[in-house]
Each structure stands twice: as structure tokens, then as C-alpha cells.
């Protein structure tokens, strides 16, 4: 009997939070929903954070995800932007954790690589690959939605795999660090 799993992917942001939901049956994934929370007209930072928290809880109550995947803020030169993104990510995490849902973060480069095979892929390339993978009829104009969906798909591809965030310089390094996994 196949087991069903729902994965909620979130691209946190204080201007726009993109999100996507996929359903996993066995080793097959299917598209459920993608959308965005537009916060550009909200001036108060704390109101934005509350809305991110509340919308994430709404998504949890609607879709009952088994796991949540978040795009981690990328390191940039603007410390204030990093702080704002970190706060947005934190409240989205807190919403999931308040409902005892496991949360996993993925670097933007890891998400792009998981979807397209190239860590430097553009938003458009990621969106087109998702459209093909999930048979999405029409892509949205705003690609923050597909960024959230990409986090969910990345999580599907990386679930039960090698530790997230771990990298290897080649096969010999992988073998050396994973001797227990090698069948002789």
C-alpha cells in the first residue's frame, strides 16, 4: 500500500512569500497548489511577520503537510535584508514547529541544483523545469510562487538521502565518509 505525504514549500520574504504544496505517493509527486502572500502594501514590519505566521498556519490547517521545506536566506552584502529575511523565515518555521511539523531548510543553490541540475540556474529555468515535472499548465507571472514550490520539490528529491548540507569533493571522499553504507 502506498503512503501519502504532503510537503509544503515556502520561500519566505517580507515583500512576497511564495509557497507551493505537493503530494507524494510512493516515489511519485504531484502538484497541489502554489500561490503567494503579497505584503508589499503592509508598512509595519511586525504586522508583516504576523501575517506570514498566520498564513503559514492557514496553509497547515488546509493541507495538513507532513513536512515543511524552507528556502534559507542567501548570504548577501545587505545585512538589513538578511535580518528581514531571517525573521520571515523564523516565523514561518515557528508556525510549522508549533504544530509539530518537521522543518528543513535548503540553500537557494541547493534548490536550484535539485530541480535543474545547475546551482546557478535562473528563476525562469527553475520555473520551466517545475512546469515540466509537475505538468503545470500555466506559470504565474510572479516566480516567488514557483520558488516556494521548488523548495517542496527539492525536499522530495532529498528526503531520505545523504545528509542535507553535506558536500563531498568526489567519490573517494564520499566513500571514506560513508563506509557504513557500503556493501562489501
CA-nearest of 136, 164, 165, 130 to 149 is: 130
67 labelled binding-site residue: no
Strand ordering across the sheet containing 4-11: 28-38, 16-25, 4-11, 67-71, 103-106
Rounded to whole angstroms, how far apart are CA atoms 152 and 172? 30
Q: Which of 11, 36, 67, 147 is catalytic?
A: 11
- Report how far apart the first and last C-alpha atoms of the chain are (Å, whole number): 32
Contact assessment for residue 87 and residue 13, using Cβ atoms and an 8 Å cutoff: no
DSSP 8-45: EEEE--SSEEEEEEEEEETTEEEEEEEEEEE-TT---H
Respond yes or no: is residue 71 known to be catalytic.
Answer: yes
Q: Which of 36, 67, 144, 147 is catalytic?
A: 144
Respond yes or no: is residue 144 known to be catalytic.
Answer: yes
Respond yes or no: is residue 105 known to be catalytic.
Answer: no
DSSP H/E element including 145 = helix 144-158
Rounded to whole angstroms, how far apart are CA atoms 138 and 122? 18
Q: Which of 36, 67, 71, 147 is catalytic?
A: 71
71 labelled binding-site residue: yes
144 labelled binding-site residue: yes
Rounded to whole angstroms, how far apart are CA atoms 79 and 63? 34
Q: What residues are designated binding site? A: 11, 71, 144
| Catalytic (active-site) positions | 11, 71, 144
Q: What residues are designated binding site for Mg(2+)? A: 11, 71, 144
Amino acid at each position: 500500500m502506498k503512503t501519502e505525504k504532503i510537503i509544503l514549500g515556502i520561500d519566505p520574504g517580507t515583500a512576497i512569500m511564495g509557497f507551493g504544496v505537493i503530494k507524494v505517493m510512493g516515489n511519485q509527486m504531484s502538484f497541489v497548489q502554489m500561490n503567494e502572500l503579497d505584503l508589499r502594501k503592509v508598512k509595519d514590519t511586525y504586522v508583516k511577520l504576523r501575517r506570514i505566521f498566520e498564513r503559514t498556519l492557514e496553509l497547515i490547517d488546509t493541507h495538513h503537510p507532513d513536512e515543511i521545506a524552507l528556502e534559507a536566506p542567501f548570504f548577501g552584502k545587505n545585512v538589513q535584508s538578511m535580518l528581514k529575511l531571517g525573521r520571515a523565515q523564523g516565523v514561518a518555521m515557528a508556525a510549522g514547529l508549533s504544530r509539530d511539523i518537521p522543518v528543513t531548510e535548503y540553500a537557494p543553490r541547493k534548490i536550484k541544483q535539485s530541480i535543474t541540475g545547475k546551482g546557478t540556474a535562473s528563476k525562469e529555468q527553475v520555473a520551466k523545469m517545475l512546469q515540466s515535472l509537475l505538468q503545470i499548465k500555466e506559470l504565474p507571472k510572479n516566480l516567488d510562487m514557483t520558488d516556494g514550490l521548488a523548495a517542496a520539490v527539492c525536499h522530495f528529491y532529498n528526503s531520505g538521502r545523504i545528509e542535507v548540507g553535506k558536500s563531498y569533493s568526489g567519490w573517494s571522499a564520499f566513500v571514506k565518509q560513508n563506509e557504513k553504507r557500503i556493501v562489501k
